[in-house]
Structure 1
Amino acid sequence: MTGLLNVVDVEATCWDGNPPPGQSNEIIEIGLTVVDLGSGTRVSRHRILVRPQRSRVSAFCTGLTGLTQEEVDTGIDFAEACRVLATEHSAGSRPWASWGDYDRNQFTRQCRATNTRYPFGQVHTNAKVAFTAAHGLRRRPGMAQALDVAGLPLEGRHHSGEDDAWNIAALILHLHDRDAWPTAGG
């Protein structure tokens, strides 16, 4: 194993309440930070904007993520984003992690709905579960709360996929430094 781990965080279309008729959550940003567990460093960060096909970016979503419909309209379609993950980021062969299961489940749902090949391999680690266990917490914290617990700063904008992946990578390295990162997941 090379010791490289893909840390992924997605942002998706969202609303204050239920989606409008005919719309559903779709990934609009994929943030990816590559972590070298061997050297204990974050080696690269990436942002893939994804153009939604079955929904539009709401004002609520813009307020949360900072993303606008005009910005995501410049992105690539979801199938192409999955190809980029597979070809440029070794998503099918490299272990990966996310904060919670939302990202993994959203990819599964959207791949199924669009008949797109799932880009990731089988080795996924839920970093939220690992962090909760390592710190003996009763409840699973959100990413920003976990950064506080770990004594780490929030870098960038919360709910930016690129920035959140970068921050989650810092939490994973924090766990790795404590010998609390599961070896099966990276």
Structure 2
Amino acid sequence: MAAATAAERLEYVLVVDFEATCDDDRTFGPQEIIELPVVFVKMAGDGDGDGGPQIVDEFHRYIRPTSVPQLTRFCTELTGIKQETVDAGMTIDEALDGLAEKIDEVLGAELAGESTRWAFCTCGDWDLKTMLPKEVRNKELRLAPALAAGVESWINIKHVYSAATGSRARGMKGMLDAVGLELVGRHHSGIDDARNIAALLIELWE
């Protein structure tokens, strides 16, 4: 996993926060990603005069689960995602291919292929250490080269928070509160959480 200071060397940070099928029963499974949001943050230090880090684009897709197609009531209440939303969604491989294309579009194909110049950012390690690898394995997916390289290491915003504040990281809302930011939107909405994590990253960097 990338060190908290890695963003100093990066041109872009891509904040991701998956939502997945779930229930209040720990035996539920297999979990499947049902929301894939990515917020693109362009970091400072590129000499273009734009100042500090800023959000420059977003990618957001809802995904149709195939192993357990029916969402539980618990999942809908937690995430706000309705059955009709995922029924109209795309497959996970279509969403990941779309994300790879978006990365090429925003970063440029040359930069997208250099994983030392950009990184994913998560709140905790579950998204990229646990959930995505399980999906790849269970569904025999093949990741595009940029994605395959990008998920080898990532930035955990909790490490950035601890390095910047000298305090132990709490949950997302606790970290936002500590730096004077409000939680915008709905907690456990993937896109809202990704935007909030991006705002926290920018605040910590400034």
TM class by shorter chain equals 0.7 to 0.9
User: Partner of 1:114 in structure 2?
Assistant: 139
TM-score, normalising length: structure 2: 0.78
Listed as ranges, the gaps of 5+ residues in structure 2 are 1-8, 45-51, 105-111
Summarize deviations over 1:143-166 as a string: whole Å, max 9, x none: 111100111111111111111100
Amino acid at match of 1:157: R
User: Partner of 2:155 in structure 1?
Assistant: 125
Matched, 1:49 2:49: no
The answer to whether the 8 Å contact 2:59/2:102 transfers is: no
Summarize deviations over 1:22-79 as a string: whole Å, max 9, x none: x411100011111011242111223110110112311111111100121111111011
The answer to whether the 8 Å contact 1:45/1:166 transfers is: no
Q: 89, 99, 115: which one pairs with 1:85?
A: 99
Summarize deviations over 1:123-153 as a string: whole Å, max 9, x none: 4111112213322223x31111110011111
Summarize deviations over 1:51-110 as a string: whole Å, max 9, x none: 101123111111111001211111110111111111112476441111110110211111
Secondary structure at 1:107 match in 2: helix
User: Partner of 1:166 in structure 2?
Assistant: 195
Secondary structure at 2:35 match in 1: strand
Q: 126, 136, 157: which one pairs with 2:186?
A: 157
CA distance in 1, matches of 2:85, 2:18: 16
CA distance in 1, matches of 2:96, 2:24: 28
Query: 1:19-98 maps to which residues of 2 (within 5 A)?
Result: 19-20=27-28, 23-38=29-44, 39-55=52-68, 56-90=70-104, 93=115, 94-98=118-122
Structure 1 144/2 Cα, relative in aligned 2: closer, same or farther at 3 Å?
Answer: closer
Q: Percent identity?
A: 39
Q: What CA RMSD, in Å, does the superposition of the two structures yield over aligned residues?
A: 1.9
Structure 1 73/19 Cα, relative in aligned 2: closer, same or farther at 3 Å?
Answer: farther
CA distance in 2, matches of 1:126, 1:155: 20
| Runs of 4+ more than 4 Å apart | none
Secondary structure at 2:192 match in 1: helix
Secondary structure at 1:95 match in 2: strand
Listed as ranges, the gaps of 5+ residues in structure 1 are 178-186
Structure 1 172/2 Cα, relative in aligned 2: closer, same or farther at 3 Å?
Answer: closer
Aligned residues: 174
CA distance in 2, matches of 1:128, 1:54: 32
CA distance in 2, matches of 1:117, 1:82: 9
Amino acid at match of 1:32: V
User: Partner of 1:12 in structure 2?
Assistant: 20
118-127 or 30-39: which moved more? 118-127
